[in-house]
Structure 1
Amino acid sequence: FSHRWFNNAEPTFQDMVKGENLEGAAYEKLLGFCAKAEWHGCLLGWSDTCCIDKTSSAELQEAIRSMFNWYRNADICIVHWSDSDKGGDIATDRWFTRGWTLQELLAPTRMKFYDKCWQDFTAAPNDKDHAPMKDALCRATGIPRRDLEHFVPTTARVQEKMYWASKRRTTKIEDAAYSLMGIFDVSIPVVYGEGHLAFHRL
């Protein structure tokens, strides 16, 4: 699942275990994702909000380092554009301004995009194969079509990738660096509290 977080209202791992905080717009969004995942034939779904125990530093470290590959190996990545209507200008959606969604766009081999009411934008089984959608994504991100179709993570083209990331923001300073590990195919220790040093280490 790829989406923009709704402030601090997202259901957490602990909420799901305890059966708490299971209401509101963020929870409805999660239910919408589960419904679409089931419709696409998925037996399991994964969301970064509630499938990572963020109170466990070891689990959080593993998740952050593995996330690019999880998205790459997923059968499908379901994307929710919470600011967009079908037929509208997707480039104005705040999903395109968030740091973590860059790798969530580049890593998957199969994607489906949905608007705020869970209407699909195309009838294609894979929106990465849909030419008009690819053109719209290129315009919204400045990312070349070849990278949208099949992105290869390497340490090459550093300046270009940094330019893609420069248009995006993360809630935590360190995530500006950590969200790029998979894109560059590198691994660094995750140390929240180090601030801008994380980017220098990257």
Structure 2
Amino acid sequence: MRLLKVKADGSFSLTSFAPDQIRPYAILSHGWEADNQDVTFKDLTNSVASSKNGYRKIQFCGEQARNDGLEYFWVDSCCTDKMDFTELSTAINSTFRWHQDSARSYVCLSDISMDIRPQSSTQWESAFR
């Protein structure tokens, strides 16, 4: 399993682990960006990741993991080399277990805007009836 390691300066690097050596990690569940703006494994290894819109999600996950006392995190779009079909197949078959085994799971809904005004319970309760 390949994880991103959060460095002291807030940057991160890819680190590979044998199955029995995996350290506690956070995992990011997210929607895909439009127009190839998600950061891929290739983007990280070629140092062009920060030029993509999806980089913000990775920064968020790294910051939150560090705030939660975790040194490592996993993001499907960039921790798996999708050009390596064996690795991709392993990742697809392992994703459920990786989510289940994570110390923390974060969700990034980039297509949802946040209204910071508090709503009364009657405003949202009707939506669930």
Normalised by the size of structure 1, how large is the TM-score? Answer: 0.42
Give the structure with the higher percent helix.
Answer: 1
> What residue identity is the alignment partner of 2:33?
F
Number of aligned pairs?
A: 92
Alignment counterpart, residue 57 of structure 1, candidates 58, 63, 85: 85
Partner of 1:36: 64
RMSD: 2.2
Could you tell me how far apart the structure 2 residues matched to 1:40 and 1:28 are? 18
- 1:121-176 Cα shifts (integer Å, max 9, x gaps): xxxxxxxxxxx9xxx9xx5xxxxxxxxxxxxxxxxxxxxxxxxxxxxxxxxxxxxx
Q: Once the 2 structures are TM-superposed, how far is the Cα of residue 2 of structure 1 from its aligned partner?
A: 0.6
Q: Once the 2 structures are TM-superposed, how far is the Cα of residue 24 of structure 1 from its aligned partner?
A: 3.6
Give the structure with the higher percent strand.
Answer: 2
Percent of aligned positions that are identical: 30
Could you tell me how far apart the structure 2 residues matched to 1:87 and 1:51 are? 33
Q: Please, which runs of 5 or more residues in structure 2 have no aligned partner?
A: 1-27
After the TM superposition, list the runs of 4 or more consecutive aligned residues in structure 1 that deviate by more than 2 angstroms.
none
Q: Once the 2 structures are TM-superposed, how far is the Cα of residue 84 of structure 1 from its aligned partner?
A: 3.5
> What residue identity is the alignment partner of 2:50?
L
Partner of 2:99: 71
Could you tell me how far apart the structure 2 residues matched to 1:23 and 1:72 are? 31
Question: RCO higher in 1 or 2 (8 Å CA, sep ≥ 6)?
Answer: 2
Q: Please, which runs of 5 or more residues in structure 1 have no aligned partner?
A: 89-131, 140-202
Normalised by the size of structure 2, how large is the TM-score? Answer: 0.64
